[in-house]
Amino acid sequence: MINKVKNPLLLILGIYLICELVKDFEFLVLKTDQTFLAENIICKLFAIGMIFFCLHKLRISWSSIGFKKSGMIQSGILGLSLGIVTFSISYFVEYLILKNMGLHPQFAFYIANFTISNQNVIGLSMSALIICILGNIVNVWAEEGLFRGVLFQIGKISYTQKTANLIQSLLFGLWHVITVVIWVLDGSIDIPTAFIMSIGYIALAGILGYEWGLCIALTGTIWAGVFEHFFNNFISNTLHVITETGVDELQIIRIVISNVLSLLGAILLTKARKHYKSKVPNG
């Protein structure tokens, strides 16, 4: 358990800003996503290093921030189930909409970097698949460990669990805005469009961040978010909808539906658990 610290909000913001600056430097200067790695991996490795540093300074273990051995399988199944069910529904809805538009949608499996509005196609090979899997493992370890792990747990010291969850989920949303900044700098979009898309990124990532925080309260571990986060990223990187007019044209609808359904699922499970506990006599 984390001992009480002075100014927990400042500590949360300080940890976040350090990791954010490293991420911005990699995205804007190093641009490792444009190399053979096809991924901005340095900022994720730095975030993992920051987690190790925080655990050392706070004198706590990985299990203290949710990486517990007990409950890993059950929580992992919950996370995978949420991801599989919600994406199955959202892909089906996307398919039906495209069919109704008079198009002929088909599913294709290949590796591509995920963003809301465009993609960098890598192809399909064993090396690309391995890099995709390893990259997503590092990404999920870094983001879940940082946001739902360290930042969420520090927040719970002085604030309610709901407030701590809101803080980490908002920061998780802001974490994804750098993509929009890049599009502005390279002239792909204008400022008004960037403002709208930034809100979209914050909302969509924030919804999932909040849901995965709920899953920690629901299961007592971080694994539900880890497994769903990995599945969401992997399926977005690999399973695409192709028509005669383009690729993943309604991807934003797919993501919105999946994210909202996943959050609703977590909320319903949380309420069901509270209702069950209220019905069970004490002792």
Least confident of 26-35, 179-188, 212-221, 253-262: 26-35
Least confident of 38-47, 107-116, 217-226: 107-116
Domain boundaries, the chain: 8-279
pLDDT at 118: 54
Taking the C-alpha atoms of residue 133 and residue 197, their distance in angstroms, rounded to an integer, is: 27
pLDDT at 283: 47
pLDDT interval class at 146 (50, 70, 90): very high
Nearest to 11 by CA among 208, 171, 201: 171
Summarize pLDDT for 58-109 with one digit per residue, the tens: 999 999 999 999 999 999 999 999 999 999 999 999 999 999 999 999 999 9
Residue 113 has pLDDT above 90, yes or no: no
pLDDT at 123: 67
Report the length, in residues, of the chain: 283
pLDDT interval class at 164 (50, 70, 90): very high
Average pLDDT score over the chain: 92
pLDDT interval class at 277 (50, 70, 90): confident
Residue 267 has pLDDT above 80, yes or no: yes
Determine the Cα angle at 10 with ends 7 and 16, to 5°: 140
Q: What percent of the chain has pLDDT over 70?
A: 94
Element (H, E) at 43: helix 42-58
Instruction: Determine the average pLDDT of the residues in 231-259.
Output: 96
